[in-house]
Amino acid sequence: MLVNSTGMAFLWPLHTIYMTQGMEKTLSEAGFVLMLHSGAEIVGSFLGGYLYDRIRGKRTLLLSVLAAACFIFIISIGLSWPVYILMMVLLGLAIGIIFPPIYALAGIVWKEGGRKSFNLIYLVLNFGVAVGTALGGIVAQFSFQYVFWVNGFTYLVFIIIVWFALEEPDPVIETVKVKKEHVLNPKHEVRPAQSFNSLLVLCLGFMFCWVTYIQWQTSISNYMHQLGFTLSAYSALWTINGILILLGQPLIQWFMARMKVPIKWQLLSGVLFFMATFGLLSQSHSYGGFVAGMVIMTIGEILIFPAVPAIADRLAPIKRRGMYQGLVSGAANVGRTIGPLLGGLLYDGLGPLVLLYGCIFIGGFALICFGTYQRLQYTQNEFHLPKSINKGG
């Protein structure tokens, strides 16, 4: 995940610049292509989960990453506009397939890790983004083609790591272990119908969170420009975000485990932090207010984003682990896709204050989803940390 996120971060902030400056297209045309790219990622998320359940995680990763590398290298040679759009759609599909197998595998290759597995994935994901975005801008100054090449090269490194270093548990052995656990602890068994319904509600809340979170990358940047803040001032907020995640995430997760906080309350607390962020921005026009808002939002992000795939792993029947993670990734992609459109409509039509209050309102829906999803099950086993996690922090 570290190699993958670093390579992706080389490229994704520069897509728009490449299309508008390198290919001389309008911002609207670039936005349309990115929308198609995001839509393909949604489809890829569901397809990645399906393939994991059918051909296992290692094969799914190898096929998807190899496809992504091929599409990147094809784009790097310089394409006509229609062919470029097609390659961007196919690239989005391949990228979307990658994430469900990674999260599904995180739950089984280090089974005793529990939530710590997903916390670690989240941490290295953000570290890779921080490194990739910093280096991507430097490489782009020489040539956009070099950016594509570096991104493609990271995918090749990814393939080598998966091929030689990743040991995926045999499905037969895993099935035997699960059956033994259910015999020893029959009260921990969750019926598939209830677990799936619970997952749908969980994913709906996750989507609402992403709809509000993505506003920081879209509408709020325009809002800060309208207030007279420079682009460097806005970029500094994301530097703060990255530093807080790298330094604060292990500390916050240690504290949550130490205090034995149920994961449901971790989710609810995270949503409240999101809502407090937009409440603060609606009342403050100073740069200090935006800094404080970013700090508060980052704490909420740390509480929510690694927890949802961890819950999905606990809910998933053994033969549907990929599908469950695919739904989680798909929900995030849906939020990232509709969030900018919804935010733009509210901002342009009704003003920034209505957008900020609207995000608080949407956060309320996330609260309802996270507060009630466990009612669709007969047990609440998935909320509690395993004893090994509690002791180890």
Residue type for position 122: Y
Which pLDDT does position 137 carry in this prediction? 72
Structure token pair of residue 104: 């599904």
Listed in sequence order, the DSSP H helices in the chain are: 2-11, 15-17, 27-55, 57-76, 81-109, 115-140, 144-165, 171-184, 192-213, 219-226, 231-258, 263-283, 287-304, 307-315, 321-350, 352-372, 387-392
Q: Which of 316, 321, 389, 391 is nearest to 120 (CA)?
A: 389
Euclidean distance between CA atoms 61 and 42, whole angstroms: 17
Structure token pair of residue 144: 């956009």
Structure token pair of residue 367: 């609260």
Structure token pair of residue 48: 């990645």
The residues of the chain scoring below 70 in pLDDT are 13, 27, 171-193, 376-393
CB neighbours (10 Å) of residue 372? 13
Which pLDDT does position 191 carry in this prediction? 60
Euclidean distance between CA atoms 136 and 351, whole angstroms: 34
Residue type for position 195: S
Q: What is the DSSP string of 231-262?
A: HHHHHHHHHHHHHHHHHHHHHHHHHHHHTT--
Euclidean distance between CA atoms 206 and 191, whole angstroms: 22
DSSP summary character for residue 169:
P
Euclidean distance between CA atoms 246 and 238, whole angstroms: 12
CB neighbours (10 Å) of residue 180? 10
Euclidean distance between CA atoms 363 and 221, whole angstroms: 20
Structure token pair of residue 189: 């068994």
pTM: 0.83
